[in-house]
Amino acid sequence: MEGSTPQGGTSTPRGGTPHGGGQAGEQPAAAAAKTPIDLGPQCPNCGEPWLRPTNLPGRYRCVYCLHRFELTSVCPNCGEHSTIVRMSSTALYACNHCRASMLVPI
């Protein structure tokens, strides 16, 4: 009898493939590795994506290098003034004119 063991059982499951050889479990992991994960805004000091708001409005701290920053209304690069919404969760960290960082180290 084909596919039988000496004890009378079969060496493969009913699907015809041996246990542990399924590639279906590998496809979701490969798809998850291709999608980028957004960890937050990048720190102007170290470049790591760990910049987090503090309990004070307009203040931020990098969890990686522990530097503190303040969001300013005047661009330190070009001097352009812009209105900032300090309590907004979608605060803009880049100047609208020159695209430089509006975060100044404290």
Contacts of 105 (CB under 8 A, 6+ apart): 44, 45, 67, 68, 69
- Both tokens of 85, joined, read 């919404």
All domains in the chain, ordered by first residue: 39-106 (2.10.290)
pLDDT bin (cut points 50, 70, 90) of residue 83 is confident
Q: For residue range 23-50, what is the model confidence (pLDDT) as tens digits? A: 555 556 666 668 888 888 899 999 999 9
Q: Using CB atoms within 10 A of its CB, is residue 36 exposed (0-12), middle (13-18) or buried (19+)?
A: exposed
Report the side by side order of strands in the sheet with 59-62: 51-53, 59-62, 68-71, 103-105
Amino acid present at 44: P
Report residue 71: phi and psi, to 5°: -80, 120
**Whether the model pTM is above 0.95:** no
Upper half-sphere CA count for residue 26 (Cβ side, 13 Å): 4
Q: Which of 11, 7, 67 is nearest to 42 (CA)?
A: 67
